[in-house]
Amino acid sequence: MKKIIAIILLLGLTGYGIWQALAAGQQHKKEEGLAVGDTAYDFALHTLDGKEIRLSSFRGKPVIVNFWATWCPPCQKEMPEMEKFYKSHKQDIELLSVHLTSQDRRENLQPFIKQYGLTFPVVMDEKGKILKLYQIQTIPTTYIIDRDGVIHKKVVGPMTYKQMKDIADSLR
């Protein structure tokens, strides 16, 4: 009888220890979402030339994810600033430009890229899935994601070179 009680007690303590270890691991895991401090939702979209780019492929390096359309005047104003920032900081921080193709015309994209001399990656959200996933209401909207994939900041409206530089400096 004593052996059975000892075995039950031992199994109970082992089970409790395993449960505590699993619970502790869950506390350190970030929630996936859109709030500052959440892990950014992962997605994969294609460039005009068909190359697939996945947000999670940038892990290990901070990334600026910018949502925009060619017809948007604030987006047009922001693009030269983004290009200037990208050229001077691409070794430290990535820039991923999400063209909301579902809200624009695909044929407008290539002339826009050429007109503004954009060299950073531009992917197309042709079906609006990422627009909905990230609940984009106003454009441009930009998410700043740290090297671990966690949302550091959200900016609604156009960004300046100085804003981008300050954010990049805060992520070092």
Q: What is the mean pLDDT of each run of 10 residues along the chain (172 residues)?
A: 64 58 52 91 97 97 97 98 97 96 96 98 97 96 96 96 94 83
Inter-residue contact 102 to 134 (CB < 8 Å): no
Tokens for 46, please give them. Answer: 């294609």
What are the phi and psi torsion angles at 7 (to 5°)?
-65, -45
Answer whether residue 38 is part of any domain. no
pLDDT at residue number 16? 60
Whether residue 65 is found in the same domain as residue 13: no
pLDDT of 97: 98
Predicted local confidence at residue 21, as pLDDT: 56
Q: Do 136 and 111 lie in a common domain?
A: yes
Distance CA 46, CA 29 (A): 29
CATH assignment at residue 56? 3.40.30.10
Domain shared by 88 and 125, yes or no: yes
Is residue 60 assigned to a domain?
A: yes
Give yes or no for a contact between 39 and 30, defined as CB atoms under 8 angstroms apart. yes
pLDDT of res. 10:
59
Residue 1 counted as domain residue:
yes
Contacting residues for 54 by C-beta, under 8 A, at least 6 apart: 42, 43, 44
| Domain containing residue 66 | 44-170
State the pLDDT at residue 55: 97
Please report the pLDDT score of residue 92 as a whole number.
92
Instruction: Work out the angle at residue 111's Cα, subtended by the Cα atoms of residues 118 and 136, and round it to the nearest 5 degrees.
Output: 70
Same domain, 123 and 56: yes
Examine the domain organization and report whether 86 and 161 are in the same domain.
yes
Sign of the torsion angle spanned by Cα atoms 145, 39, 99, 135? negative
Identify whether 19 is part of a domain: yes
Give the pLDDT of residue 24. Answer: 52
Q: How many domains does the chain have?
A: 2
User: What distance in Å separates the CA atoms of residue 125 and residue 67, rounded to the nearest whole number?
Assistant: 9
In a domain, 48, yes or no: yes
Q: How many residues does the chain have?
A: 172
